[in-house]
Every structure is written in structure tokens, then in C-alpha cells.
Amino acid sequence: MGSGGDAFGNHAFKDPGLLKQALTHRSAGAPHNERLEFLGDALVGLIVADALYARWPKADEGALTRARSELVRESSLAAIARRMDLGGALILGPGEMKSGGHRRDSILSDALEALVGAIYLDAGYEACRDAVLPWFAQAIDELQAGKVDKDAKTRLQEWLQARQRPLPVYELAAESGDDHAKVFHVRCRLTDAELAAEGEGPSRRAAEQAAAEGVLQALLAVS
């Protein structure tokens, strides 16, 4: 799959400027890939949802949603980007190059989404789908319909709702690290009991999941 000329990720670009923009991180100046990332994020969700809908005709909405979330989460997209050697093709500013930005999950996943957006603008939806779907083929094959684990926040919410208890509150406790390598610290607490847990991660969402897991495990331990 790698790059060559104006081709990348199963697609030969008619407009090489789109490919260059998709590979350009904001640290390297404009035009960078953030607008393409916005477009690509929606396209990846649609392409994966379409594939799962066709593949699993008997799966309910919850199973389909969990499977899609598993396939399009940051770490999954970064793994695809690494298989494509996308990091080696990125255009980064000096600071990001020095700090190893080409290896960071957030930068790799964003660039992959930007690449999807660029393919769409270059050739339309069908060509974009045909180029992108093979990237997810192995991961989709490995998933079993209805067997994808629910994330920690969902499991905690369902545990509380089943017992008619109020939903937890998530609070951003702190942020640390430089802009290119932030760590988020989130506190998850129950409003009807003296129980809370903290979690950290490279995004607020990841930190919330870690905190929710802590609260859930504490509840299960005493239930």
C-alpha cells in the first residue's frame, strides 16, 4: 500500500495538491489537513457503517454502533495508517518532527481521515469507498456480529440505569503536556454516593472512559 508519485492508499490522485494537503500537519503551515480531516471523519463513518449494515443483516442498532466505534476509533485508524506507512509521508513542522509526531496516534488518525477526504474530493464517493474499504477489511472480518464489547461509559450508564440511579458526572480535572502531546485528567463521580475515580488519556474521551472503568469496577466490587 505505500506511496509513490501522486498515488497513496489505493488511489492515484488526479489533483496532487489534495494529496499534499492531506499529508500536511498544521505545524507545517497552510494549507494543512484539518478541513480535509473534518470531511474524512464523516466519510469514514459512513463507509464503515454501510459495510457493517450490509455484512450484518440481523444485527441491531446497538451492535452496529459499537462495531463502528471500534473500527473508527483513534487507535484503530492509527494502526491502519502505520500499515500504510503514512507517518513516513507526513509533512510536519520542525517541532513535531523533533518530538516524533509521525508516530503519534492522534496525528496519524487525523491524517488518515484527511486522506479519505482528499480521495473523495479528487474522485467522488464511489471511488473513495472502493479505495478505503479494503483498509478496514481485515478488522471487519475479525469482528463478530453482536459480540463487540460495550465501552466503559456505556456499561456504567446501563448499570446505573438498571438500578434507577442517576447518571455519573464527568469533570475535566486537569490538562498537562505540550499542545502536541496533551494528557487529559478526568474525574467521574456519582451524585448519589461518595464514589469517584480518575482517569487519564491522550483525549478527553479516552480519559472519561478510563475514569468510568474505575467507577464501574468499584461498584462491581461491592455489589
Task: Output the pLDDT for position 66.
Answer: 83
Residue 35 lies in a domain: yes
Give 160 or 96, the one with higher predicted confidence. 160
Residue 51 lies in a domain: yes
Q: Please give the tally of structural domains in the chain.
A: 2
Task: Output the pLDDT for position 148.
Answer: 62
Condensed to tens digits (0 to 9), the pLDDT of residues 87-145 reads: 999 999 998 888 887 888 889 999 999 999 999 999 999 999 999 999 999 888 877 65
Say whether both 30 and 70 belong to one domain.
Answer: yes
For residue 69, count CB atoms less than 10 angstroms from its CB and return exposed for 0-12, middle for 13-18, buried for 19 or more.
Answer: middle
Q: How far apart are CA 223 and CA 209, in angstroms?
A: 21
Say whether both 41 and 101 belong to one domain.
Answer: yes
Residue 78 lies in a domain: yes
Say whether both 135 and 44 belong to one domain.
Answer: yes
178 marked as binding residue: no
Say whether both 161 and 133 belong to one domain.
Answer: no
Domain endpoint, select from 142, 170, 191: 142
Task: Output the pLDDT for position 52.
Answer: 93
Catalytic residues: 41, 113
Residue 190 lies in a domain: yes
% of the chain residues with pLDDT over 70: 93
Say whether both 131 and 160 belong to one domain.
Answer: no
Q: What is the CATH number of the domain that holds 198?
A: 3.30.160.20
Give 168 or 201, the one with higher predicted confidence. 168
Say whether both 129 and 181 belong to one domain.
Answer: no
User: Average of pLDDT values for 49-59?
Assistant: 91
Say whether both 102 and 179 belong to one domain.
Answer: no
Give 168 or 181, the one with higher predicted confidence. 168
Task: Output the pLDDT for position 179.
Answer: 66
Q: What is the CATH number of the domain that holds 27?
A: 1.10.1520.10
Q: Are 198 and 186 in contact (CB under 8 A)?
A: yes
Residue 156 lies in a domain: yes
Residue 147 lies in a domain: no
61 marked as binding residue: no
Say whether both 115 and 12 belong to one domain.
Answer: yes
User: Average of pLDDT values for 55-81?
Assistant: 88
- Residues forming beta bridges with residue 8, ordered by sequence position: 3, 11
Say whether both 29 and 91 belong to one domain.
Answer: yes
Say whether both 75 and 53 belong to one domain.
Answer: yes
pTM of the model: 0.68
Give 3 or 70, the one with higher predicted confidence. 70
User: Average of pLDDT values for 42-65?
Assistant: 91
Q: How many other C-beta atoms lie within 10 A of the C-beta of residue 149? A: 9
Task: Output the pLDDT for position 95.
Answer: 86
All residues at 6 or more sequence positions from 57 whose CB lies less than 8 Å from its CB, including other chains: none
Say whether both 134 and 164 belong to one domain.
Answer: no
% of the chain residues with pLDDT over 90: 57
Condensed to tens digits (0 to 9), the pLDDT of residues 14-48 reads: 999 999 999 999 999 999 999 999 999 999 999 99
Task: Output the pLDDT for position 5.
Answer: 47
Is residue 146's pLDDT more than 60?
no
Say whether both 187 and 128 belong to one domain.
Answer: no
Task: Output the pLDDT for position 4.
Answer: 42
Domain endpoint, select from 120, 142, 164: 142
Which residue range forms the structural domain that includes residue 118? 3-142
Starting at the edge strand that comes first in sequence, how are the strands of the sheet with 169-176 ordered? 169-176, 183-189, 196-201
**What is the residue whose three cell numbers read 485508524?**
77
> Considering the chain, what is the average pLDDT of its residues?
88
DSSP secondary structure letters along the chain: --EETTEETTEE-S-HHHHHHHTB-GGG-SS-SHHHHHHHHHHHHHHHHHHHHHH-TT--HHHHHHHHHHHHSHHHHHHHHHHTT-GGG-B--HHHHHTTGGG-HHHHHHHHHHHHHHHHHHH-HHHHHHHHHHHHHHHHHH--TT-PPPPHHHHHHHHHHHTT-PPPEEEEEEEES-GGG-EEEEEEE-SSSS-EEEEEESSHHHHHHHHHHHHHHHHHHH-
Domain endpoint, select from 112, 142, 172: 142
105 marked as binding residue: no
Tell me: cis bond preceding 31? Omega within 30 of 0 counts. Answer: yes
Q: How far apart are CA 170 and CA 196, in angstroms?
A: 10
